[in-house]
Amino acid sequence: MRLNRQHLPEQIARVLAGEEEYKSLPDALQSAIRLPIYTRACAVLEELTKAERRARLDIVPESVRDLVEAEALRLHKLRSSAT
């Protein structure tokens, strides 16, 4: 699932593309990047096997990979506890 870069502030788009570090964003943009992080985490969890999930996560730029992985783990735990 991809977000249209046209609808994102330029700095957020650069972070998601791996061109800039997450920590370089002002606080407001760090908050605003949460939805794209969530969207990428959901895409990781759509994969059926652990190897496929790891491969999907490896595609994510390093600048946000830890954030996406943490969100995917949070969502996995949340979804597992709900069933």
Per-residue pLDDT of 16-74, as tens digits, reads 999 999 998 999 999 999 999 999 999 999 999 999 999 999 999 998 999 999 999 99
Domain that residue 19 falls in = 5-82
How many domains, in total, are found in the chain? 1
Name the percent of the chain in helix, strand, coil, to the closest 5. 75, 0, 25
pLDDT at 42: 97
Q: Which two tokens stand for residue 79?
A: 């979804």
Q: Where do we find the tokens 């600048």?
A: 63
Q: Which residue has the higher pLDDT, 72 or 3?
A: 72
pTM exceeds 0.75 for this model: yes
Cα separation, 69 vs 11, whole angstroms: 21
